[in-house]
Structure 1
Amino acid sequence: MRHRIYCFFTLISIYILITAPFAFADLPILKLNTGGHMASITNVIPMKDGRHIITSSMDKTIRIWDTVTGMETQKILGQIGGGPEGVIFAIALSPDERWLAVGGWFGQSVDTWGNIRIYDLKTGRISRVLRSHQSTVNCLSVSSDGRYLVSGSADTTLKVWDISDKFSLVNTFKKHTNTVSAVSIIKEDGDYKIISAGVDGKVILWSLNEKSVLKTYVHTTGLLSLAVSVGYIAVTGVIGSNIVGGSYNIVILEHNFKPIKEIVSDTLPLGLSFSPDGKLLLAGTQYPPFAAKVYDSQNGFKEIVSFKKFDYVAGTVAFLDNRTAITAGGTHNEIYLWDINTGDIKRQIKGIGNEVWSVGIKGKDIGFGYEDTLIFKKQNLALENFQKQAASENMSINKYFDNKAA
């Protein structure tokens, strides 16, 4: 009898496991719409009109913003739901702004981890999925003529895709010995040159025409960020045990891979971008004091301004134009556009509300806050009354506690 009961429940369990995904597949997923990103911002791309920018985030969304109004104009939802599947690490836009390539962690198995989604930006729909990488895709770059897309992955490889031939895979490069963290493709002297940086500390120059390595530079620590201008290559990144007591620097190379400058910084730089004219280098930050900095490439990469509005990691950077920097990050996942000469803020873009780091309950009272060292408490205020009062004052619950709780 016990054996029959056991078999019965075993069969029921198997049935539930098989049918549950289908039963819940059509159920709606409730998501807060704060008007901004709800997790770390991983990329920012300025658009050709000089007004709009595209951002991606670990909240699994891609958003387009009007930098004049600060409002979101388009949102692309890729893979929404619990768990890390769907987080976005990299995006790249074709020069004609038709195609948006998106990489990240897109599944629970090796078969889907390294997928690259190609979106039709106008419709926001997936046009095709590129399958070849065996792990997460961390970086993407499109050539200036829109011919090739290059992807770098935690599987240690670089892959080149021919956009003009339906994104067909044309080559795979295998010289890195650890995660490829950054990549850039440039058209030079009739060849397509690919520059990659990795956690193995290597910067590698590849020739697509020759399908071979041209030069290699080896840094003392793992590399996370890369930027390329007409005259220079900038790399940085201190990871793991090297963070404390490590070398907080940015290395500047000429295109022949000769190191010409080491910029020492106290902020542990993360995220690099050259201005469109190549005269300025912008660096984000991943360690206190949290400050994004701008360096003058025509004056020995001398620091000209430090932007100190962030309270946490801000490693996503770009230039809107030659005078306007974009930095994104902080505990509230904010986007700042600011003047590179004065540091004055031109536009701040962020969602409403705050992250909840602390919660306290006492009887029918509840309190919470966005500082991890604080628990806000409100005495003698039942939760239902608290909600009504917050609503009548046109406040979010978070704001109510910020202003009135002790």
Structure 2
Amino acid sequence: MTTRSLGRLRRTDFPYYAAHPDAVYLDSGATSQRPETVISAETDFVGADYAAVHRGSSVATGEATWAFETARERVAAFIGAGERELVWTAGATDAINMIALGISDASLGLGSADLALSAGDEIVVTEAEHHANLIPWQRLAARTGAVLRHVAVDADGLWSLDGMRREVSPRTRLISFPHVSNVTGQIAPVADIVGLAAEVGALTVLDACQSVPHMPVDFSTLGVDFAAFSAHKMLGPTGIGALYGRAELLDVLPPARTGGSMITTVTMEHAEFLPAPNRFEAGTQPVSQAIGFGAAVDYLASLGMSDVRSHEEGIAEALVETVTRTPGVRLIGPAPGDERAAIASVIVDGVHAHDVGQFLDDRGVTIRTGHHCAQPLHRALGVPATVRASASVYTDLDDVARFGEALGEVRDYFGVTA
């Protein structure tokens, strides 16, 4: 199916476009639109089958629990995991924090010594991280005395495998990196980094927020130890994400959240926890959101993730071509012709990114402006903010053309002639 036809055909599945028929929505990297099947799955459950899960023995509880756990099975299968390897979280940010806090507790002697960090051990990240995959490791290093190292980016905001090799040492215990940069669209060489980690016995954590919605991803094949992704970036609800972890690691990772529904035995002095995934799911769960998450992966699976990737490769090519032929606009990230996700961040000479965003919005083109929760990357680029266009399954070439037309008018509108 062509780039134009997949995006245009699928618009009928999304109520947003019925309400905004002329919209150009190019902010899917922040939050994607939802198809009717996802919306109705969640609302139908709330209306007809809503009940507590894993609590009590009633028929209502049993039916709700079945729906909740079936959704887990479908999301797990979508990313190549067993159902015990997928934990519901409040989002990808929560998932990464759960890993960091669990390792912190293990370092205090509350979990497996194999996960513990000591003073002088090293954590390696990249300068391109979203803050959610940087600040938790800063805090973990501060708690344990570990050293946080980073792979620098170049003038285009890109980091390299060679740069990663230079930062990894025999003291490296954990490498955390983005599968796809939310700013540049750079796609990481995951298998190479997993191999590098194996050489020094380090764990790997993959920020997969910008990859799972847009390309075939199988975590077991990739070989990463942990990964995190969010439903709201992949046609699903807000307020829920997922933590993937190899079963043997999840079973020894201390839970970051404690309370009801995740224990086997509690005394006044001691608590014992259930196996994964339940040991990480304290309290009342996001049940209806999980149902919507399951429906979202069903929708994506029905499209075929190889076809989704092919469609978005065409969008990425069109975005790059559009930006590079626009005078006074600089493209960040991979060079034209190089592999990238369907993300294009740009700098418009002489015009602040926020002014560009307002100009585009006035012309019906929704994009993202700011530092995209990646201040170190923008600091390395020497700018406070960029303008980002990001695509999904409903994006087509007409969207790219309207984006390019509006982008080409920005500098004239603001009187920038140099």
| TM range, smaller chain | under 0.3
Structure showing greater Rg: 1
Higher helix share: 2
Instruction: Output the TM-score relative to the length of structure 2.
Output: 0.25
Higher strand share: 1
Instruction: Output the TM-score relative to the length of structure 1.
Output: 0.26
Higher relative contact order (CA 8 A, sep 6+): 2
